[in-house]
Amino acid sequence: MNDVLTLVDARLRWAFGEPDARASVTFLGTERIEVLRFVDAEARTVRYATLGMSAAPMTDPAQALADPERGPRAELLLTVRAGLADTDKVLRPLAVLAASPQVEGVVVAPGASLDTGEPLWPGAPFTSVLVAEPGGLVEDLPLDPPREPVRFLPLLPMTPAEAAWKRVHGAEALRERWLRHETDLRDPLRNAVPLGD
């Protein structure tokens, strides 16, 4: 584990306690991505956090040469209500999303949509996620300059209808609609928010 990932691992454990499970996935031509699971029995939630995405900075594919030090770094967080669905099957889709900067050369940032092309877990009504603003669950992890801090980006599952609506109206409009309808974004079985009113 490189020095950045050691610090990220420590930050996650400081924020959530010890993980009760961790799994690793390696894709051809990429570094290993781990997914850690943290159970909060009091809040009846399960949190999944990636570990490995921040090992290298994300690079805009339009850049001719990737800078090994400069560029945004991030890890992904997903929180769902425990015991309502087989959400542990989200480990591989989460690892796929975390590997996308290495595989596809994308820069993952708040407001972006990430699509897995399949349900996030068996029976899930979601195949994509909205990347939310960092800082609420885990504070940014500063690194020595010139390296940028590691940001911990929450993921909000979207139904296909919500993802299509977001493409037309934007991330902020979808967040406002969720808020207006008091949508429980941690419910792994929720229906799409009403989109026609």
Tell me the mean pLDDT per 10 residues along the chain, length 197. 90 96 82 94 95 90 70 96 94 92 89 94 96 93 94 97 96 96 96 87
| The predicted structure's pLDDT at residue 35 | 96
127-130: Cβ within 8 A, 24+ apart: 127/160, 127/163, 128/157, 128/158, 128/160, 128/163, 129/78, 129/97, 129/155, 129/156, 129/157, 129/158, 130/155, 130/156, 130/158, 130/166, 130/171, 130/174, 130/175
| The predicted structure's pLDDT at residue 71 | 87
Ranges of beta strands (E only) in the chain are: 21-25, 33-40, 45-51, 73-81, 113-115, 128-131, 150-158
| The predicted structure's pLDDT at residue 70 | 85
